[in-house]
A and B are shown apart, each in its own frame.
Chain A
Amino acid sequence: MSALLQGLMPHLMVAPILLPMLVAAVMLLVGEGKRAAKLVLGMSSTLLGLAISVALFAWVDAHGAVAYLPGNWPAPFGITLAVDRLSAGMLVLTWLLGASALSFASARWHRAGVHFHPLFQLQLMGLSGAFLTADVFNLFVFFEILLAASYGLLLHGSGKPRVRAGVHYVAVNLAASSLFLIGVAMIYGVTGTLNMAELSARLSGVGVANRQLIDAGAAILAVAFLAKAAAWPLNFWLVPAYASATPPVAAMFAVLTKVGIYALVRLWTLMFAGGPLAGFGADGLFVFGVVSSVLAALGMMASQRLAVQAAGGVMVSAGTLLAALGLGEEAVLGSAVFYLVSSTLASSAFFLLVDVVERWRAGATVVDEAPFLSATLEAQEVNLDDEEEPLVALPFPASTALMGMAFIACTLLISGLPPLSTFIGKVGMLSAALGAGGASAPVSARAWLFTGVLLGCGLLTLIALTRTGIRTFWSEMHRQPPRVRAPEGLPLVALLTACGVLALAAGPTMELASATARSLYDRRGYIKAVLGAEVRPPPTAREAGP
C-alpha cells in the first residue's frame, strides 16, 4: 500500500480536483434521467475521493508538506498545489461529508431537480481545489467554482423560499468576490507575488511606505473570507440560504463556511504569525468571532424551526473558530482545528437529522416546498423507473430510537457538552487560552472573555435545542414511528460515530491537531515544500540525457 502511494505521489495530489471534474463531465454526457447510473458513478467517485484524501493525509503526516507543480513551472511563476496536514484534514472532512450527503440524497432528494449529481461533484472539486492550492488567485478561482456549484445546489428542488434565499446568497457572494479580487490585487501590487509561500517570505522586504497598502489589502481580503465564513455583520444571508436548501445540500454546505475559516487560518498564519507584521488583524478576528458566535447563539434561542437552529449552529461554530484564531496562540489553534472537524461533522449530521424529524412531524403526507418533488411526481416516477423501485419508504427498525439518540448526540455536540468530541475541543481551547504564558502568568482579559463567550454560547444553544427537542419529541403523542430508509440512516450514524471516535481517540487525534497548528505557526515546512518543489525535466531533455 505504501509502495503504491510512493509511486503515485506527488501526482495523487491533483486527483481530488481532477476526479470529480471528470466524473461531472461524464455525468453530463450520460444525459438527463438515468439517475441510478449517475448515483453509482457519483458514489464511487466520492468514496474513491475519500480514500485518496485519507491516503494523502497519511502521507503528509509521515512526510511533511508536499507541493506539486501542475504546469511544471518553477514555484513562484506557475500555479502550485500544496498539501499539508491542515489541507489534507480538510479534504478528508469534505469528502466524508460528501459521501454521507450523497448517500442521504440518494433516498429521495436527488430526484427533486435536474443535474444534482454533476453539480455535487463540481462542488467537491471546488472545495478540494480551495484546500489544495498554494496560490492566492487560484484560490479565488476555486472559490468561484465551489460557489457556482453551490448556487446550483442551493436552487436544487426549486420553490419560492430557495429562489428568494438564492438571490441574496448569490448577490452577497458576488460582492464578496469583488472584495477578494481587490485584496488580491493590492497584495500583488505591493509584493509582486501571488504565491502564498513566497508572499510570506516577501513580507519582511516590504518598506514602511507600503506597509499600509499591505494592511489594507490583507484587511479587504479578510472581509471577503469573513463574508464566506458568515461572520457578523456579513452573515444575514446564511440562515435563509441554509435553512431553505435541500437537507443533503445543507449538510454539504456545513463545510462551506469552513472554507472561509480555512483561508483565514492559512493566510493569517503564513502572513502574520511571525515576521515584521506579526499579529496584524488578530484583534479584529477576535472581536468579529466573539460577536458572531454570541449573536448566532441568541438567534438559535429566538427560533423555533430546527433548520434555522442548525444554521445557527454552523454560525456559532464559525464564530468560535474566528475568536480562537484571533487569540493568536498556537495551542489554542491546535484545539480549534480539532473543534473545527468535530463541529462540522455535527452540523452536517444535524441538517440531515432535521429532514428526518421534519418529515416525521409533517406526518404521512409529506408537504415539501419543492415543486418538482410532489407526491404525484414521485408516483409518476415509479412508472418511469426501470427498476420499479418502491418509493414508499421501508420502515427502518428502531427508527424512533435512532432519531431520538441522534438528536441528543447533535444537541450535545453543538452545545459542546461531554462526552462527545466538541467538548474536548472546547476544553482544549479554554485550557490553552487560560494557560497561555505559563501557569503563574495572569490570565488576560481576552482569555476571560473567550471563556465566557464559549461557555455562554454553549448554554444558550443547549437551552434552545433542549426546548425544541421537548416540543418536537415529548409534547406530541400518537405519532407513527418515523420512516428512515437505510441510505438516510447510515450517513447520520456514520457522521455521529465519527464524532464519537474523535472523542474516544482524543489523545492521538488531538496530537494530530496540535501538530497541524505547530506546522502552521512554524511555516518553514510549507514554504520550503512550495518554493523547493522540483521542476521535472521535459520529455525531450530526458531522452537526450544519459
Chain B
Amino acid sequence: MEVVLAVAIGILAGSGVWLLLRPRTFQLVIGLSLLSYAVNLFIFSIGGLAIDKEPILADGVPPDLAHYTDPVPQALVLTAIVISFAMTALLLVITLASRGMTGTDHVDGTEV
C-alpha cells in the first residue's frame, strides 16, 4: 500500500511540476491543482497508513495509539484541501481576467 501511495504522489507531483513549467495559464491551473493533490496525499500519509482504525475515540476500542490512526494529519489535510480549492478558484478568476485583458493565455500576457 505504501508503494502504491508513494508512486501516486510521485506521479501527481511530477505531472504538477511539469505543467507548472508550461507557458499556458490553463496548464498552470491544472499543474497547481495536481501539485496540491500530491501534497494533500502526502500530508495524509505522514501519520502512517492504517486500515480499519478509528481516528477518534470509539466505544469498545482500547484507548491507546496502537488501536487508533493519527487524526491530526486528517484535520490538516481537510484544511489544506479547502484552502487549495479556494486558491485555485481565485487563480482561475485572475487567469480569466488576464486572458480577457491581454488576449492571450500565455502566463506572461504576451506571445513570445
Residues of A within 8 A of B (CB): 137, 141, 144, 148, 151, 155, 158-160, 163-164, 166-168, 170-171, 174-175, 177-178, 181-182, 184-186, 188-189, 194
Say yes or no: B20 contacts A175, CB within 8 Å. yes
Q: Is the CB of B76 within 8 A of A167?
A: no
Question: Once the chains are docked, how many angstroms separate the CA of A160 from the CA of B103?
Answer: 11
B residues with CB within 8 A of A: 20, 25, 28, 32, 35-36, 38-39, 42-43, 46-47, 72-73, 76, 79-80, 83-84, 86-87, 90-91, 94-95, 97-98, 101-102, 107-109
B80 partner residues in chain A, CB cutoff 8 A: 181
Q: Are A167 and B42 interface neighbours, CB within 8 A?
A: no
Q: Which A residues touch B28, using CB under 8 A? A: 167, 171
Shortest CB–CB separation between residue A520 and chain B, in angstroms?
Answer: 27
Q: Do the beta carbons of A163 and B87 come within 8 Å of each other?
A: no
Nearest 9 Cβ contacts at the A-B interface: A189-B46, A164-B109, A185-B43, A185-B46, A178-B39, A163-B98, A181-B39, A144-B83, A163-B97
The CA-CA distance from A174 to B28 in the complex, in Å, is: 11
A174 touches B72 (CB 8 A): no
List of B residues within 8 angstroms of A159 by Cβ: 101
- Contact between B101 and A181 (Cβ–Cβ < 8 Å)? no
Contacts of B25 on A, CB cut-off 8 Å? 167
CB proximity of A47 to chain B, nearest CB, Å: 30
- Decide: A166 and B32 in contact? CB cutoff 8 A: no
Whole-angstrom CA separation of A137 from B46 in the bound complex: 14
Q: What residues of chain A lie closer than 8 Å to B36, measured between beta carbons?
A: 174, 178
Q: Is the CB of A137 within 8 A of B79?
A: yes
Which residue of A148, A167, A175 contacts B98 across the interface (Cβ within 8 Å)? Answer: A167
Contacting residues, chain A, for B39 (C-beta < 8 A):
178, 181-182, 185
Q: List residues of chain B with CB within 8 A of the CB of A175.
A: 20, 32, 35
Q: Is the CB of A174 within 8 A of B91?
A: yes
Known A148-B90, A181-B80, A188-B73; contact A171-B98, beta-carbon cutoff 8 A: no
18 additional A-B residue pairs with CB within 8 Å, beyond A185-B43, A188-B76: A141-B83, A151-B94, A155-B94, A163-B109, A164-B98, A164-B102, A164-B109, A166-B94, A170-B90, A170-B91, A171-B28, A171-B107, A174-B91, A175-B35, A178-B39, A181-B42, A185-B39, A194-B72
Inter-subunit contact A171/B102 (CB<8 Å)? no
Q: A85 CB to closest chain B CB, in angstroms?
A: 30
For B70, give the chain A residue with the smallest CB separation: A192
CB distance from A202 to the nearest CB of B (A): 15
Judging by beta carbons under 8 Å apart, are B47 and A189 in contact?
yes
Task: Tell me which residues across on chain A come within 8 A of B76, comparing CB atoms.
Answer: 137, 184-185, 188
Separation of A170 and B89 alpha carbons in the complex (Å): 12
Q: Which residues of B contact A167 (CB under 8 A)?
A: 25, 28, 91, 94-95, 98, 107, 109
Residues of the A chain whose Cβ atoms lie less than 8 Å from the Cβ of B107: 167-168, 171
Nearest-neighbor residue (CB-CB) of A164 within chain B: B109
Considering the complex, give the chain A residue whose CB is closest to the CB of B16.
Answer: A178
Nearest neighbor of A169 in chain B, beta-carbon distance: B94
**Given A185-B76, A186-B46, does the pair A170, B94 have CB atoms closer than 8 Å?**
yes
Find the A residue at minimum CB distance from B40.
A181
Evaluate whether A148 and B43 lie within 8 angstroms (CB atoms) in the complex, with A163-B98, A178-B35, A181-B80 already known.
Answer: no
Q: Are B94's CB and A160's CB within 8 A?
A: no
Output the least CB separation between A467 and chain B (Å): 29
| Distance A193 CA – B35 CA, assembled complex (angstroms) | 24
Chain B residues with Cβ under 8 A from A148's Cβ?
Answer: 86-87, 90
Query: Measured between C-beta atoms, what is the minimum distance from B86 to chain A in Å?
Result: 7
CA distance in complex: A426, B109 (Å)? 40
12 pairs of residues in contact across A and B, judged by CB atoms under 8 Å: A144-B83, A148-B86, A148-B87, A160-B101, A160-B109, A163-B98, A164-B109, A167-B25, A167-B94, A177-B84, A178-B39, A188-B72
